[in-house]
């Protein structure tokens, strides 16, 4: 089990990014949370098996929303948060 935080910059708010990120997470069995930040970026905490998590990160970098555009991501490993599912906040 691996756990990361991802901050996503670009056209990622107002384009369905959080909800489509949740769909990708649910499909891959990733647990965590996704939220909009006041600076216009999206913040994700995600954990799961390394292969699935790597696939999730790739999908986020490509933008799960066809209307979105990811310019940059900042990814950091973190201790496991033991999430019970994946949820969209704020």
Q: What is the mean pLDDT of residues 75-85?
A: 95
Answer yes or no: 11 catalytic. no
DSSP secondary structure of 52-90: HHHHHHHHHHH-SSTT-EEEEEEEEE------SSEEEE-
Band (pLDDT 50/70/90 cuts) for residue 90 is confident
11, 36, 54, 87: the catalytic one is: 36
Domains and their CATH numbers in the chain = 2-77 (3.30.70.100)
- Residues 19-71: pLDDT tens digits? 999 999 999 999 999 999 999 999 999 999 999 999 999 999 999 999 999 99
In the predicted structure, residue 75 carries a pLDDT above the cut 90: yes
Answer yes or no: 36 catalytic. yes
- Residues 61-74: pLDDT tens digits? 999 999 999 999 99
Cα(85)–Cα(76) distance, integer angstroms: 20
Cα(3)–Cα(81) distance, integer angstroms: 8
């Amino acid at each position: 089990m691996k756990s990361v935080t991802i901050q996503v910059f670009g056209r990622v708010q107002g384009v369905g990014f959080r909800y489509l990120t949740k769909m990708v997470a649910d499909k891959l069995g990733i647990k965590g949370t996704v939220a909009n930040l006041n600076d216009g970026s999206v913040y994700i905490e995600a954990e799961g098996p390394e292969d699935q998590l790597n696939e999730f990160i790739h999908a986020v970098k490509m933008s799960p929303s066809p209307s979105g555009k990811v310019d940059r991501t900042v990814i950091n490993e973190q201790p496991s948060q033991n999430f019970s599912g994946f949820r969209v906040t704020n």
